[in-house]
Amino acid sequence: MPKITVVVPVYNVENYIERCLDSIVRQTMQDFEIVIVNDGSPDRSEEIIFDYQKKEKRIRYFYQENMGLGAARNKGILEAHGEFICFIDSDDYIEPDYLKTLYEALMQNDGDIAYCGMQQVNDQKEILGVNPQTEEELWSFEQPSACNKLYRVSLFRDYEISFPVQLYYEDLATIPKLLMVSKKNVRVDSYLYNYYFNEGSITKSYTPRVVEMKKVLEILEDFVKSQHLQQYEENMEYVHLYAGVINTSFRMILARCFSKKEIVSMIEHFESVYPHCYQNKIAKKRFPLKYKVIAFFIHHRMITIYRWMVLLRSQVQHG
């Protein structure tokens, strides 16, 4: 059996899938399988994968009707033969030592999850930005990417953890669970995962679906309670403030389809779960000045000024 299962969900990536697969098969560590899950992609992705499969026998291919990224990853978990598992989005690519470095980090430290830094790249493979993924950031649950990590697959199976299906913010609903039940998380101080920056994905994030953050944080809260993980209450309070109160209200404003009353109602929901969230210790340490200002406006219900600030900033950025 292979040591690692690499799961690659596929949907409308005919221009990128070969680059992704090339980066996987050229790994310096070769003891792995590739599980490709085609999530009902209507483009030429399947044809390209079939051609690639002829020269790469470690690929196992599955097709399913379109159900979203979460369902595709869940299929990969179900079919995994490896002791460890990782997820590579099909428009991204990894550095040659990605698997070897993360695997050795786990072996040397008897860990359950290893994680590394990420680089944001464009079509020309130019680096647009970096995310070192510090331990502090990891535990803030701010950017809980599924893709820059190697997991012991038993975490998913022993704790019945899966990605939510057809729900926005599926990583936030899943990765903190794994971090909380992992006996040890190991950081690798290298940028080994390359995240493709699609400019159109930013504006797409300002949709009515932003309200699904409420369901996502409820999923996390239920898990914390069911697994008796109360030691992470401060982390949960922080994510309610950062992702719930601030980020969700910000995105609701930019979506331009929510009334002031609806925005305030959503804010009040997250505040009701953690009434003292504005005094959160992690927030006091991590928040830059702009978040502190936003939190002040929201806390004191200066929503009209807050909306004006967000919309004005958006107009300036987009000319």
Domain coordinates in residue numbering, the chain: 4-197, 203-317
Q: DSSP letters of the chain?
A: --SEEEEEEESS-TTTHHHHHHHHHT-S---EEEEEEEES--SSHHHHHHHHHTT-TTEEEEEE----HHHHHHHHHHH--SSEEEE--TT-EE-TTHHHHHHHHHHHHT-SEEEEEEEEE-TT--EEEEE---HHHHHHTSS--STTEEEETHHHHHTT--PPTT-SSTTTTTHHHHHHH-S-EEEEEEEEEEEE--HHHHHHTSSGGGGGHHHHHHHHHHHHHHTT-GGGHHHHHHHIIIIIIIIIHHHHHHHT---HHHHHHHHHHHHHHSTTGGG-HHHHHH--HHHHHHHHHHHTT-HHHHHHHHHHHHHHHT-
In this structure, which CATH number among 3.40.50.720, 3.40.50.300, 3.90.550.10, 3.30.499.10 belongs to the domain 4-197?
A: 3.90.550.10
Residue 142: per-residue pLDDT:
86
Residue 198: per-residue pLDDT:
75
Residue 67: per-residue pLDDT:
96
Residue 143: per-residue pLDDT:
80
Pick out the chain residues at pLDDT < 70. 199-205, 316-319
Residue 203: per-residue pLDDT:
43
Residue 202: per-residue pLDDT:
42
